[in-house]
Structure 1
Amino acid sequence: MKRVVIGLSGGVDSSVAAYLLQREGYEVIGLFMKNWHDDSVTISNECPWLDDSNDAMLVAEKLGIPFQTVDLSEEYKARIVDYMFAEYERGRTPNPDVLCNREIKFDVFMKIALDLGADYVATGHYCRKGMIHKDGKDIYQLLSGIDTNKDQSYFLCQLSQEQLAKSLFPIGELTKPEVRKIATELDLVTAEKKDSQGLCFIGKVKLPDFLQQQLKPKEGFIVEIPEDEPVFSNVETEFNSTESKLEYLSRKIIYKEDWGKVVGKHQGAHYFTKGQRKGLGVGGTVEPLFVIDTDVEKNIIYTGQGKQHPGLYKKALFVANDELHWVREDLALQLDETMHVKARIRYRQALEKATLYKVDMGLYIEFENLQSAITEGQFVAWYINDELIGSGVIS
């Protein structure tokens, strides 16, 4: 019997994943990761870790599998929370869920599991693992989940071949309703439990409150940029190379205060992100205001009216070499090579046709259609058919 350690989160997905592994004949051990203690920044009664660990324990009891809790809060703070603060301070918008999988679940947690003699680590993610044999070796594939509505492959876009080799995703072939049905038939305590929302492991966090622990409030201006600002209409069309064209298409517009008018005040540019509509507290405009950029140096938020504002849209983005990751290392592009893919810049976004261009400093991704709110610090992931082959942090 192969031994599998499963991360039991206290939710329905990991509960059913544990049962499916057991049914397949694995020796299953349930571990709950305690990654956060500070309830002062969660919204009361929303996913406190105590309830979750209790539910995970009840599921383990019901299935008759060993269970224990591991405290990873120190590593979580160092690798996820401190990283988040640093990124927000730089004016970037991090994705803690992607980092949490790379750094915690499939690294720190995986090492603990392997020390317990596990052959594999399993989670309740909606994705699948494939394997092909190429040039005399096994290559692992990260495939999207059958349930396109719940597919979570994007959150695992930073996994390596070594991590995939030791991973199992038992519910990847199922839809959410099928998972709930199994949990109900087994009379599991988690069968009707709502999906947790908010930060990975911390629960539904009031983000400004959370950030204010480290990033102090600082009053600044909200500036509205009109959509007929000349910077949007002076479009370059002549380029001496593909790279200069891509550089232009992915460029960051440096806004100036005198291009628009001050329409309000905020408590810190680092609390806001591109594409954000809520929390600006500015009324009286024909259409709602959206954040089109933030300047953390000058502490200014630039906004535009309506979701069609030209300041929100770009056709290309750039990933620097040190933030570029290939799940399929055998498919990694060499200098001057290109590849047609489908890509997404956020979870649950429909996949969009795009072309990858490998240049000396990194990788350009040019989309067929304009993309809204391409945000520095977020992850872009690219696919061939239903296989996620690479990802990177948007520069």
Structure 2
Amino acid sequence: MKRVIIGLSGGVDSSVAAYLLKEQGYEVIGLFMKNWHDDSVTISNECPWLDDSNDAMLVAEKLGIPFQTVDLSEQYKERIVDYMFHEYKKGRTPNPDVLCNREIKFDVFMNIALELGADYVATGHYCRKGTIQNEGQETYQLLAGVDGNKDQSYFLCQLSQKQLAKSLFPIGELTKPEVREIAAKLDLVTAEKKDSQGLCFIGKVKLPDFLQQQLKPKEGIIVEIPKEQEIYNYVKTEFESEEDKLRYLSRKVDYKIDQGKIVGKHQGAHYFTKGQRKGLGVGGTVEPLFVIDTNVNENVIYAGQGKEHPGLLKRALFITNEELHWVREDLTLKVDETMQVQARIRYRQQLENATLYKVDSGLYIEFENFQSAIAEGQFAAWYLNKELIGSGVIS
């Protein structure tokens, strides 16, 4: 009997995943990860991790599997929270969920599980694992979940072959309604429980409140850049090389205060991200205002009216070699090689046709269509058919 340690989060997905593993004949052990101690930054006075760990324990009791809690808050603070503060300080927008999977669930947690004699680690993610023979060796595939509405492969885009080898995703073949139905039939306490919102495992966190712990509020100005600004009128069409063209398409516009008008104030440019609409507190515009850029050094937010503002739209992005990751190492591109893929720049975004171009310093992704609010610090992930093969941090 192979031993599987499952991360029981106190939600319906991991509860049903644990049940399915037991049905498949595995020896299943439930482990709850406690990743946070500081209750001062959750939205309400409820204590989410306590409720969640209780629910996880009740599910384990009902399924008749051993259960324990592991405290990973020290590693979580070091690897996730400190990284987030560092990124926001630089004016980038990190994705804590992707990092939590790479650094905590499939690294720290996985190592604990293997020390406890586990053959595999399982989670309640909506994705699938495939295995193919590649020159006599097993290569693991990270496949999209069957439920297109819930597919969570994007959140696992930084996993390695070594991590995938030891991973199981029991609910990847199911849809969310099917998962809830199984939980209801089993009369699990989590059957009707709402999906968790907020940072991976911290609970319902208000991001500005959370960031204010380390990044102090500092008043600055909001500058509205009109669509007609002449920086958008000049379109370069002649290029010396393909790389020259891609550099141009992925360039960052260097905005200046005198290119627009001051329309409001804010409490810190590092609390805002490109494409954000809420929280600007500026009314009286014909179309809603969106953040088109932030300058954290000068503490200025640049905004533009409407979803189609040229400051929001771009056709290409760049990823440095240091932040480039191939799930399928065998498909890694060499310099000057290209690949037709489908890609996304955020979770739940429809996959878009794109071309990868490998250059000396990293990788360009050129999209067929304009993309809105490509944010530095977020992850871009690319797919062949339903398989996620690589990802990287947008530079």
Give the aligned partner of residue 386 of structure 1. 386
Shift of 1:352: 0.1
Once the two structures are TM-superposed, the CA of residue 44 in structure 1 deviates from its matched residue by 1.1
Residues 218-238 of structure 1 deviation map (CA, whole Å, 9 limit, x = unaligned) = 110000000000111100000
- Match runs of 1:43-192 below 5 Å: 43-44=43-44, 48-192=48-192
TM-score (norm 2): 0.99
8 A Cα contact 2:346 2:379, kept in partner: yes
- Whether contact under 8 Å (1:22, 1:28) holds in the other structure is yes
Q: What is the deviation of 1:46?
A: 6.2
1:247 lines up with 2:247 in the alignment: yes
Q: Deviations over 1:186-212 (max 9, x none)?
A: 000000000001110111211110000
Cα RMSD (Å): 0.6
1:22 Cα shift?
0.1
Instruction: Show the counterpart of 2:224.
Output: 224
| 1-structure distance, mates of 2:139, 2:46 | 40
What is the letter of the counterpart of residue 198 of structure 1? G
d(CA) in 1 for partners of 2:203, 2:226: 37
> In structure 1, the residue corresponding to 2:311 is in which secondary structure?
helix
Segment drifting more, 199-208 vs 375-384 = 199-208
Letter in 2 for 1:253: V
Partners of 2:39 and 2:47 within 8 A in 1: no
* SS of alignment partner, residue 179 of structure 2: helix
Deviation at 1:101, TM superposition (A): 0.0
8 Å CA contact 1:18, 1:28 repeated in 2: yes
Alignment of 1:15-34 (within 5 A): 15-34=15-34
Three-state SS of the structure 2 residue aligned to 1:20 is: helix
Instruction: State the distance in 2 between where 1:292 and 1:202 align.
Output: 29
Q: CA, structure 1 residues 386+259, in 2 after alignment: closer, same or farther (shift >3 Å)?
A: same
Letter in 2 for 1:269: A
Please list the CA deviations of residues 236-278 of structure 1 after superposition, one character each: whole Å capped at 9, or x if unmatched.
Answer: 0000100000000000000000000000000000000000000
2:162 partner amino acid: E
**Would you say the 8 A contact 1:339–1:357 is kept in 2?**
yes
User: Percent of aligned pairs with the same residue?
Assistant: 83
Rounded Cα–Cα distance in structure 2 between residues aligned with 1:208 and 1:172: 34
Count of residues in correspondence between the two structures? 395
Map Cα deviations across residues 66-104 of structure 1 (whole Å, 9 max, x no partner): 000000000000000000000000000000000000000
CA drift at 1:45: 5.5
State how far apart, in whole Å, the 2-side matches of 1:251 and 1:52 are.
Answer: 44
**1:30-71 deviations in whole A, cap 9, x for unaligned?**
000000111111111667100000000000000000000000
Q: Which consecutive segments of 4 or more residues in structure 1 shift more than 2 A?
A: none
For normalisation by structure 1, the TM-score amounts to 0.99
Alignment of 1:4-15 (within 5 A): 4-15=4-15
Q: Which amino acid aligns with 2:42?
A: T
Counterpart in the other structure of 2:303 = 303
Relative to 1, partners in 2 of residues 1:324 and 1:46: Cα closer, same or farther, differing over 3 Å? farther
Structure 2 counterparts to residues 183-202 of structure 1, below 5 A: 183-202=183-202
Partner SS, residue 80 of structure 2:
helix
**Aligned-partner Cα distance in 2 for 1:380–1:31:** 31
| 5+ residue gaps, structure 2 | none
